Amino acid sequence: MKTWILFLITLFSLTSLRPLDHKFYLSVTQMEFDADKNRITAISRVFVDDLEETLRQRYDVHLALGTDREDAMASFYISRYVEQKLIVEMNNHPLKFTFAGFTYQNDQIVLLSEFSVIPSDEYEIKVTNALIADAYSEQQNLVHFRMNQKKQSEVLTKERPFFVVAL
């Protein structure tokens, strides 16, 4: 945690006051247990340039995300990547992942993921989110998990990329 704060400060010191820049590595994922439809949905907002750079390092591709020249393979690589980094386990079994698409909001890319829930009497849910952390060790992934009208928020790091839902 402390390193993260220090890192943030480091970043600020190096960056100019460019008003439209982000100066920190952070994503926000809103997850929701939707009991009616037996699914868990996830909306992840990640900075486009962070994802672009991560996929470049990982797959050696230049996808030009969010530009007029976006690579036709973008969806393939994004889906493949998210499936490996955003994982939900229920009662010790990983849930089936479906990538439901992506869109852009300003300088962020919005990633939609769905996990199929097998109805059960008891749920022990473990969420792992290691998006971007393979390229930027300082990445912080904030996850809000909603279930039964309650919310649990966790900040996940490369060192501790998962949590168990306690709602």
Partner 1 sequence: MKKLIHLFAALAMVFSIPLAAQEEAPQREPGHYNNNRFKQLYEEFSTPNTYRSASGAPGPDYYQQRADYKMDITLDDKNARIYGEETITYTNNSPDNLEFLWVQLDQNVRAKDSKSPLRNGEGVNLAYTAGNFAQSFMGEPFDGGFNIEWVKEGSRDLPYTINQTMMRVDLANPLLSGQSYSFSIKWWYNIPDHTVNRARSGYEYFVEDGNRAYVIAQFFPRMAVYSDVEGWQNHQFWGSGEFALPFGDYEVNITVPEDHVLDATGELQNRKQVFSKEMMKRYERAKKSYDEPVMIVTQEEAEAAEKGFAEKTKTWKFIARNVRDYGFATSRKFIWDMMSVKIANRDVMAVSLYPKEGNPLWEEWSTRAVASTLKSYSKYTFDYPYHKAISVHAKNQGMEYPMICWNYGRPNKDGTYSDRTKFGMMSVIIHEVGHNFFPMIVNSDERQWGWMDEGLDTFMQYLAEQEFGEAYPAAIEGLDKYPSRRGAPSAIVPYMAGDQSYIAPIMSNPENVYQLGPNAYAKPATALNILRETVMGRELFDHAFKTYAQRWMFKHPTPEDFFRTMEDASAVDLDWFWRSWFYTTDYVDIGVGEVKSYYVSNEPTPEMKEYMAANGLTEADLPPLVYLADLNAEDVDPNLTAAAPSETSTTLKEFMMDNMTEAERTKVKEPKYFYEISFEKPGGIPMPLIVEYTYEDGSSETVTYPPEIWRKNDAEVKRVISSDKKLTGIVVDPKAETADVDTANNSWPKKEEGSEFDALKAQIKG
Specify the residue, 69 or 122, whose C-beta has the smaller distance to partner 1: 69
Specify the residue, 17 or 166, whose C-beta has the smaller distance to partner 1: 17
Give the torsion sign (CA, 143, 139, 105, 39). negative
Residue among 43, 21, 19 at smallest CA distance from 32? 43
Least distance CB 116 / partner 1 (angstroms): 14
Least distance CB 36 / partner 1 (angstroms): 10
CA–CA separation, 154 vs 157, rounded Å?
10
Residues lying near partner 1 in the complex (CB under 8 A): 2-3, 5-10, 12-24, 28, 30, 32, 34, 41-43, 57, 66-69, 100-103, 106-107, 110, 112, 114, 134-138, 142, 149, 153, 155, 158
Specify the residue, 94 or 101, whose C-beta has the smaller distance to partner 1: 101
Least distance CB 3 / partner 1 (angstroms): 5
Instruction: Return all residues near 60 (Cβ < 8 A) that are at least 6 apart.
Output: none
Specify the residue, 66 or 90, whose C-beta has the smaller distance to partner 1: 66
CB 45 within 8 A of CB 31: no
**Which strand (E) or helix (H) includes residue 130?**
none
